[in-house]
Amino acid sequence: MKPYRCQICGETYLGEREPDRCPFCGAAGKHLLPAVEYYDFGKIEMSEGTYEDCKKAVDLELDNAAFYKACAAEAETKITQAIFKRLNKQEMEHAELICKAMGIEEPGLPDIKCPETDEEKFKEAHYREHRAIKFYLDIVARAPEQRIKDIFKALAEIESEHLKMSNIYR
Ligand SMILES: [Fe+2]
Ligand SMILES: [Fe+2]
C-alpha cells in the first residue's frame, strides 16, 4: 500500500493506486499525488476581494453541509441516506479546506431544515449545487491567485458531480 495525498484537500489516502476520486473531498483522481510529491500551500496570501469570496464560499459550504446532514437524518431510504451522508462529508471537507487557505478557524454548522420527501430534498440539492457551481466559476474567473483558481475549479467540478447525483435520483 502506498500513501497518496490530495492536492486539493490535503487528506491522505492509502492504497495500491490512486483512487478515481478523493474519498474525502471528492476531487478527481488527477489531484491525488504520491505523498512525497504533495505540496502544502498552507495559508494563502490573498487579495481582499478573494478573502471576501472565500468567506462567502465557507458560508455556502457549511449551509449545504448542514442541509445534507438534515437530509441524511430524515432520508426515506438507506440508499438516499448514504448519498446525503456522503454529500455532507464532502461539503464539510470543502469548508475545512477553504478555512485552511484563509488561515481561519472553521465556524460551526448553521441550523438548517430540509423538506419532507426525498424527491423534494433532491430538488433543493439541485438548486444548492447549481448556486455553488456558478459562484465558484465566478471566483475562478476573477481571482488573481493561481492556487485559489485551482481550488475553486476543482470544487466546481465536484459540485457538478453532486448536481448529476441530484438529477439521477429524480
Ligand atoms: Fe481531497
Ligand atoms: Fe462543496
Q: Is residue 42 part of a domain?
A: no
My answer on whether 30 and 88 are in the same domain is no
Give the three cell numbers for residue 99.
478555512
Are residue 12 and residue 85 in the same domain, yes or no?
no
Same domain, 32 and 89: no
Domain count, the chain: 2
Q: What is the pLDDT of residue 86?
A: 96
pLDDT at 62: 98
**In a shared domain, residues 143 and 112:** yes
All 3 cell numbers of residue 68? 445534507
> For residue 66, what are the contacts with CB-CB under 8 A and spacing of at least 6?
109, 110, 111, 112
- What is the model's pLDDT at position 168? 73
Instruction: Collect all residues with Cβ–Cβ distance below 8 Å to 162 and sequence separation of at least 6.
Output: 26, 87, 90, 125, 129
Pairing of strands 2-6, 12-15: antiparallel
Polymer length in residues for the chain:
170
Same domain (yes/no): 98, 159: yes
User: What distance in angstroms lies between residue 6's CA and the mean position of ligand 1's atoms?
Assistant: 5
150: CATH? 1.20.1260.10
Around ion ligand 1, which residues have CB less than 5 A away?
A: 6, 8-9, 22, 24-25, 27
Q: What's the confidence (pLDDT) of residue 114?
A: 97
Which residues on neighbouring strands pair with residue 3, listed in sequence order? 14
Same domain, 28 and 61: no
pLDDT computed for residue 24 by the predictor: 97
Which residues have a beta carbon within 5 Å of ligand 2, which is an ion?
A: 61, 91, 94
Of 64, 34, 81, 75, which Cα lies nearest the Cα of 129?
Answer: 64
Are 103 and 153 contained in the same domain?
Answer: yes
Burial of residue 136 (CB within 10 Å: 0-12, 13-18, 19+) is: buried
- The pLDDT value given to residue 170: 59
pLDDT in tens, the chain (170 residues): 999 999 999 999 999 988 999 999 999 999 999 999 999 999 999 999 999 999 999 999 999 999 999 999 999 999 999 999 999 999 999 999 999 999 999 999 999 999 999 999 999 999 999 999 999 999 999 999 999 999 999 999 999 999 998 887 65
132 and 87 within one domain: yes
* pTM for the whole structure: 0.95
Domain that holds residue 76: 48-168
- Number of C-beta neighbours around residue 55 at 10 A: 15
**Greatest C-alpha distance within the chain:** 47
Q: Residue 11: give its domain's CATH number.
A: 2.20.28.10
Cα 160 to middle of ligand 2, angstroms = 10
Q: Is residue 52 part of a domain?
A: yes
